[in-house]
Amino acid sequence: MNIETLTIAETRRLLLSKQASAEELATEALAYAQAENPKTNAYLHFSPERALAAAKAVDAKIAAGEDPGALAGVPVAVKDVIVTKNLRTTCASRMLENFVPPYDATAIERLEAAGGVILGKTNCDEFAMGSTNENSAFGAVRNPVALDCVPGGSSGGSAAVVAQGTAVVSLGSDTGGSIRQPASFCGVVGITPTYGRVSRYGLVAFASSLDHIGPFARNVEDAATLLEVIAGRDENDATSAFAPVAGYAEAMRQPVKGLKVGLPREYFEGLASETGDIIAAAVEKLKGLGCEIVDISLPHTSYAVACYYIICTAEASSNLARFDGARYTYRSPNSGTLEDMYRNTRGEAFGTEVKRRIMLGTYVLSAGYYDAYYRKAQKVRSLITEDFRKAFTEVDAIVAPVSPFPAFKLGEKMKDPIEMYLSDIYTITASLSGIPSMSVPAGVTNTGLPVGLQVLARHFDEAGMLRLARAFERG
Ligand code: GLN
């Protein structure tokens, strides 16, 4: 078995042709992942008992002649911000180092019901705040493609395991680019679905109006399969949408000839780089597939970084108030008074970036500044959404870069948080407007670093987005 290159379809074939049992596959995949993990630090912890129990259940179904599910026996990794019953969920934070959740997230329930085998939980930036995975309390992740480089973030571990071949697919979360950007940096496919498409029940909240769960995979088809499994209305999440889930596998096979694809001019200003060349070649490829390329404008793009970092910090400051020492495991040993407990627990267990965001968010929400910052950011958010609405009256999809540059060296941008924030410019507009977006590998630089093409579509048009991405992938 070639675990590093396995796909969902091949896993299915192996199991149904009885070349391997799910239990054998899980055992081998776990051993391989555990042996390879020290190279990247992509997994934080493994879940062998859970994996083997899930695999045995798949084998029993196959033996009984039942349908073992769309993800039967598939080794899956899960970002450690998604809660798993009886399995530690740390959010890569000292605050939750020993937190064992009493329930499963809906996405977890659905993927296990479909036969998925969870190998373990992946590293990430603390509470999903970051763009490089260097904000983890348990050490940075290395990019498997270039071990001296960052894998991107915040879902760096989930992208890395798929690129490294230590999981077939994985789940990540995206608030402002945390699926697409690491997918681009590691050379894998990553999907941020429409806001509300996938239930966030059991996703530890960072910024609730922006948080998404989505899949990583080595090809578009696998990512679509995982998305279809986890998508759809969930009674436990009031923001999950009633919109029916399309059969993505079928929809993806429709031709792309004649599709109108928008190129937002604001995304290409100042992109005279190798990344720019790779994206330009990708656009030529789409032309070759018969797409009509249309020049479009998303005029409020330049306000997106400021807008995003006001809204996400505001929401984070409120969401993270629950980590106070009274609940969720960590409590400072220096908790003589209630106030000491709050101050010392939060002071000791949160990392620098999390503290920075809580302070910024508290500031923009405070009386006197609320109107100047938070309310204004909400207005700007509406304008950015309106930019996309107008663009989608002219085009069927939009393509763009994911990041201004490919993976950079570990440590290179840690000193300057503003520079780090600015690198999110191409991903956060879609997050603010709630439209679906994804990264599909487009090429590599001269030094072998992957560059992803971002594909964006109308709300709930994952099928159209996947169709274009799959046609592009197949060239
Ligand atoms: N890099 C962005 C941030 O730091 C996005 C993070 C995310 O999507 N979770 O907020």
- CA 142 from centre of chain: 17
Collect all residues with Cβ–Cβ distance below 8 Å to 169 and sequence separation of at least 6: 8, 71, 74, 76, 77, 162, 215, 216, 217, 218, 222, 223, 225, 226
Residue with CA closest to ligand 1 atom 5: 176
Q: What is the pLDDT of residue 205?
A: 97
Q: What is the pLDDT of residue 270?
A: 78
Q: Is the CB of 214 under 6 A from ligand 1?
A: no
Q: What is the pLDDT of residue 416?
A: 87
Q: Is the CB of 178 under 6 A from ligand 1?
A: yes
Q: What is the pLDDT of residue 418?
A: 87
What is the CA(207)–ligand 1 centre distance, in A? 10
CB 233 within 8 A of CB 241: yes
Joined tokens for residue 233 = 């209305």
How many Å apart are CA 454 and CA 436, to the nearest integer? 10
Q: What is the pLDDT of residue 75?
A: 98
Tell me what the pLDDT averaged over the chain comes to: 96
Q: What is the pLDDT of residue 151?
A: 98
If one residue of 80, 150, 312, 317 were mutated to test the ligand 1 pocket, choosing by the most ligand atoms within 8 A of its CB, it would be 312
**pLDDT band, very low/low/confident/very high, at 258 (cuts 50, 70, 90):** very high
Q: Is the CB of 437 under 6 A from ligand 1?
A: no
Averaged over 275-282, what is the pLDDT? 96
At residue 423, φ and ψ (nearest 5 deg) are -70, -10
**Tens digits of residue pLDDT in 45-72:** 999 999 999 999 999 999 999 999 999 9
> Is the preceding omega at residue 154 within 30 degrees of 0, hence cis?
yes
Give the atom of ligand 1 at the shortest distance from the alpha carbon of 312. 10
Return the CATH number of the domain spanning residue range 3-251: 3.90.1300.10
Q: What is the pLDDT of residue 422?
A: 86
Q: Is the CB of 172 under 6 A from ligand 1?
A: no
Residue 291 has pLDDT above 80, yes or no: yes
How many Å apart are CA 357 and CA 199, to the nearest integer? 25
Q: What is the pLDDT of residue 415?
A: 85
How many Å apart are CA 207 and CA 129, to the nearest integer? 10
Q: Is the CB of 457 under 6 A from ligand 1?
A: no
CA torsion, ordered 293, 226, 153, 164, to nearest 10 deg: -100
Q: What is the pLDDT of residue 329?
A: 82
Q: Is the CB of 176 under 6 A from ligand 1?
A: yes
Exposed / middle / buried, residue 53 (Cβ in 10 Å: 0-12, 13-18, 19+): middle
Residue 269 has pLDDT above 90, yes or no: no
Residue 1 has pLDDT above 80, yes or no: no
Residue 95 has pLDDT above 90, yes or no: yes
CB 395 within 8 A of CB 454: no
Averaged over 382-399, what is the pLDDT? 98
Catalytic residues: 79, 154, 178
Q: What is the 3-state secondary structure (H, E, C) of 374-394?
A: HHHHHHHHHHHHHHHHHHHHH
**Tens digits of residue pLDDT in 185-214:** 999 999 999 999 999 999 999 999 999 999
Q: Is the CB of 106 under 6 A from ligand 1?
A: no
What is the CA(464)–ligand 1 centre distance, in A? 25
Averaged over 237-245, what is the pLDDT? 95
**Tens digits of residue pLDDT in 145-161:** 999 999 999 999 999 99
At residue 268, φ and ψ (nearest 5 deg) are -110, -10
What is the CA(421)–ligand 1 centre distance, in A? 8
What is the CA(366)–ligand 1 centre distance, in A? 23
Exposed / middle / buried, residue 20 (Cβ in 10 Å: 0-12, 13-18, 19+): middle
Residue 167 has pLDDT above 90, yes or no: yes
Q: Is the CB of 227 under 6 A from ligand 1?
A: no
**pLDDT band, very low/low/confident/very high, at 143 (cuts 50, 70, 90):** very high
If one residue of 131, 191, 212 were mutated to test the ligand 1 pocket, choosing by the most ligand atoms within 8 A of its CB, it would be 131
**Tens digits of residue pLDDT in 327-382:** 888 999 999 999 999 999 999 999 999 999 999 999 999 988 999 999 999 999 99
Residue with CA closest to ligand 1 atom 10: 129
Give the atom of ligand 1 at the shortest distance from the alpha carbon of 179. 8
Averaged over 306-334, what is the pLDDT? 95
Q: What is the pLDDT of residue 58?
A: 98
The overall longest dimension of the chain from CA atoms, in Å, is 69
Total-model pTM: 0.97
Q: What is the pLDDT of residue 419?
A: 84
If one residue of 81, 122, 154, 310 were mutated to test the ligand 1 pocket, choosing by the most ligand atoms within 8 A of its CB, it would be 154
What is the CA(129)–ligand 1 centre distance, in A? 5
Q: What is the pLDDT of residue 106?
A: 98
How many other CB atoms sit within 10 Å of the CB of residue 445?
Answer: 16
Q: Is the CB of 23 under 6 A from ligand 1?
A: no
How many other CB atoms sit within 10 Å of the CB of residue 73?
Answer: 31
The b-or-e profile of 124-150 (16+ CB within 10 A means b, else e) is bbbbbbbbbbbbbbbebbbbbbbeebb
If one residue of 173, 178, 204 were mutated to test the ligand 1 pocket, choosing by the most ligand atoms within 8 A of its CB, it would be 178
Q: What is the pLDDT of residue 122?
A: 98
Q: What is the pLDDT of residue 186?
A: 98
What is the CA(177)–ligand 1 centre distance, in A? 6
Averaged over 128-143, what is the pLDDT? 98
What is the CA(279)–ligand 1 centre distance, in A? 23
Residue 272 has pLDDT above 80, yes or no: no
Give the atom of ligand 1 at the shortest distance from the alpha carbon of 131. 1
What is the CA(182)–ligand 1 centre distance, in A? 11
Looking only at the bridges linking them, the beta strands covering 292-296 and 260-264 are parallel
If one residue of 171, 175, 420 were mutated to test the ligand 1 pocket, choosing by the most ligand atoms within 8 A of its CB, it would be 175
- Distance in angstroms between the alpha carbons of the first and the last residue of the chain: 28
What is the CA(175)–ligand 1 centre distance, in A? 6
Q: Is the CB of 130 under 6 A from ligand 1?
A: yes
Averaged over 417-431, what is the pLDDT? 92
Plot region of 270 (φ>0 → left; ψ -120 to 50 → alpha; else → beta): left
Amino acid at 230: I
Give the atom of ligand 1 at the shortest distance from the alpha carbon of 353. 4
How many other CB atoms sit within 10 Å of the CB of residue 452?
Answer: 31
How many Å apart are CA 323 and CA 95, to the nearest integer? 7
In the sheet that 169-174 helps form, which strands lie side by side, from edge to edge? 43-46, 117-122, 75-79, 169-174, 212-217, 189-192, 437-444, 450-456, 397-401, 260-264, 292-296
In sequence order, the β-bridge partners of residue 437 are: 192, 456
